């Protein structure tokens, strides 16, 4: 799964990188090295323009999708990730998957590797996974009408199974959208086989290194969170 990530690109940088415009719903956010569920972040969507064409927009949304039919915003914390294997079937995600897909630009993301200590105790070591230029994660977005009648834009990140050596840190991984698939992923009606063309953000695409457990607390933020610790990555045999 993906439960925390780092994002530092400005709106102007994202607009340039994705050949997009800053949308009406974009709010510039400070660099965030500990992006957590329910916080706001930039995502890339595709919307109709005045001429009936399509254009990419950079918008700001809350992490944690709230289905349009939900009566309670608390569901958002449970819907930060969508399993790609069932996203087209689950009531919480199927409408967004069919019509409202997004790209979530991140510098890198965090995962926690659980291992057994002597005596049977368990410990979790956070790792940071990244690549030069960052990652463009496959996402979904949804509009939710709040009790005060204001609309909230929310999003979720798609994940896939990470098996074998690819799952050495965690058995789930977010899906990365290659540059040549931006248009296909954001299109109003995606091809059924498109999910299989996306790339799991696992070793081979990303590098991983252990980082301080300061990332565990959302109040901690700053570039020091992604600095590597002098530890060896876990071996497959150490997985619990």
Active-site residue identified among 2, 28, 73, 163: 2
Cβ atoms within 10 Å of 27's Cβ, excluding its own:
11
- How far apart (Å, rounded) are the C-alpha atoms in residues 127 and 162? 15
> Which has the closest alpha carbon to 190: 103, 97, 52?
97
Contact between 14 and 48 (Cβ < 8 Å): no
DSSP class of residue 187 equals S
User: For the residues of 60-95, what is the DSSP string, one character each?
Assistant: EEEES---TT-S-GGGGGG-SEEETTTTTT-TTTHH
> Rg of the Cα trace of the chain?
18
191 is catalytic: no
Active-site residue identified among 50, 57, 73, 111: 111
Q: Give the pairing of strands 172-176 and 207-210.
A: unpaired
- How far apart (Å, rounded) are the C-alpha atoms in residues 166 and 233? 13
24 is catalytic: no
Q: Which two tokens stand for residue 225?
A: 């969170």
Catalytic residue numbers read 2, 111
């Amino acid at each position: 799964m993906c439960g925390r990530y780092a994002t530092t690109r400005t709106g102007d940088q994202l607009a340039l990188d994705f050949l997009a415009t800053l949308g009406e719903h974009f709010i510039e956010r400070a660099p965030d090295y500990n992006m957590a569920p329910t916080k706001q972040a930039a995502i890339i969507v595709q919307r109709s323009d005045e001429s009936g064409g399509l254009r990419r927009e950079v918008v700001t949304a809350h992490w944690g999708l709230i289905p349009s039919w939900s009566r309670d915003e608390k569901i958002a914390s449970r819907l930060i990730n969508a399993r790609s294997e069932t996203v087209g079937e689950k009531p919480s995600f199927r409408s967004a998957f069919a019509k409202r897909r997004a790209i979530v630009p991140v510098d890198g993301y965090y995962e926690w590797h659980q291992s057994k200590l002597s005596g049977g105790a368990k410990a979790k070591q956070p790792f940071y996974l990244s690549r030069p230029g960052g990652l463009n994660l496959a996402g979904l977005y949804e509009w939710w009408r709040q009790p005060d009648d204001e609309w909230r834009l929310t999003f979720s990140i798609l994940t896939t199974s990470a098996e074998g050596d690819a799952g050495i840190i965690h058995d789930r991984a977010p899906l990365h959208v290659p540059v040549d698939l931006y248009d296909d992923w954001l299109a109003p009606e995606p091809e059924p086989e498109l999910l299989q063309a996306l790339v799991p953000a696992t070793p081979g695409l990303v590098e991983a290194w252990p980082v301080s457990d300061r990332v565990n607390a959302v109040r901690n933020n700053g570039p020091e969170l992604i600095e590597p610790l002098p530890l060896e990555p876990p071996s497959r045999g150490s997985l619990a």
